[in-house]
Structure 1
């Protein structure tokens, strides 16, 4: 059976970060494990928005090809099938953009949609939930709670209950905006070289 990445974005209140990192919120987490901080560059690709309109996001993260194929949801609450298998990515692209036989060396025949760098702080909370706090090089911050699961409905319900239980952090930042949406709001949606 296929595993899916189920995620929920959230806007975090920067004034609560110290409480979060020290696990001093009310109620505190059962367990908070900090995994560290890393920086990466994402370059997203598309062809006349054909991929993104069909829920397919193709990117190079630090020069490794990745594809996220939306199974359900919207920009804030989603279920994805993810792959780093280049032949699978090529098949996914070819299903959406006909007459493309290019491979990864030619960016699968796609155009660059956007490029930005992210600093990501990662945690595992209550030994189950991945929590990431992202800040981009263009000044946008957003968090995600993620689960890898076979049953997306159950995973979404678990994430909802988790975020409600710890609402002191997860529900205090207002409406979240994803990184790509924030990028387009700031810079527009034209392809870049």
Structure 2
């Protein structure tokens, strides 16, 4: 059975980060463990928006190929199937963004680079099952995600909702979250030569 990544984006308040890291909110998390801090370079690829229009994101993260295929939801609240298997990535490209020839790994699957940025991510495990990621990019954008790995997306969405409501002191924010790629394109524009 497939495992899905269920994620909910949120805007985090920088003034609450110290309290969050010390688990000093009200109520405190049942458990909060800092897992790691990492930096990674993401380069995203597409062909005339054919992949993104179908909820597919192909990227190189630190030079390793990955694909995310949205199964449900939107840019704020999503269910994704993820893979790093080259043959699955080739199938997605062939199906959704035909490039006129067999997509080859050594030719970026026939796709064009559409954005490239560096992210610093702090990852925490809360209440023994919820991953909380706090991302900051090299172009000045920050966004958080609560994530569960599951085979039952509807239950996971409900669990994330309850979790975020319980700890609303950290997650509640009237500003709608904006994903990193949306923020990137708002700042730098979408490469118009790749949209036709």
Q: What range describes the TM-score normalised by the shorter chain of this pair?
A: over 0.9
Gaps of 5+ in 1: none
Give the C-alpha shift of residue 173 in structure 1: 6.2
Aligned to 2:164: 163
Q: Over residues 69-103 of structure 1, what are the superposed CA-to-partner deviations in whole Å (9 max), with x where a residue is unaligned? A: 01010000000000000011001110012224122
Structure 2 regions of 5+ residues with no counterpart? none
Tell me what 2:96 maps to. Answer: 96
- In structure 2, the partner of 1:141 is 142
SS of residue paired to 1:52 = helix
Distance, in Å, in 1 between the alignment partners of 2:101 and 2:67 is: 16
Asked if structure 2 preserves the Cα contact closer than 8 Å seen for 1:12 and 1:173, the reply is no
Structure 1: how far apart are the matches of 2:101 and 2:125? 40
- Residues 43-73 of structure 1: CA distance to partner in whole angstroms, max 9, x if unpaired? 0000000000000000000000000001010
Q: Secondary structure at the match of 1:106?
A: helix
Partner of 1:65: 65
**Which residue number in structure 1 is paired with residue 110 of structure 2?**
109
- State the 4+ residue runs in structure 1 displaced beyond 4 angstroms: none
TM-score (norm 1): 0.97
How many Å separate the matches in 2 of 1:163 and 1:91? 36
Is 1:34 the counterpart of 2:29 in the alignment? no
Q: Deviations over 1:143-182 (max 9, x none)?
A: 0000001111100000000000000001136211000000
Contact map agreement 1:112 1:191 (CA 8 A) in 2:
no
Aligned residue runs from structure 1 range 121-140, under 5 A: 121-140=122-141
State the superposition RMSD in angstroms: 1.3
Across the two proteins, how many residue pairs are aligned to each other?
193
Structure 1 contact 111–191 (Cα < 8 Å) conserved: no
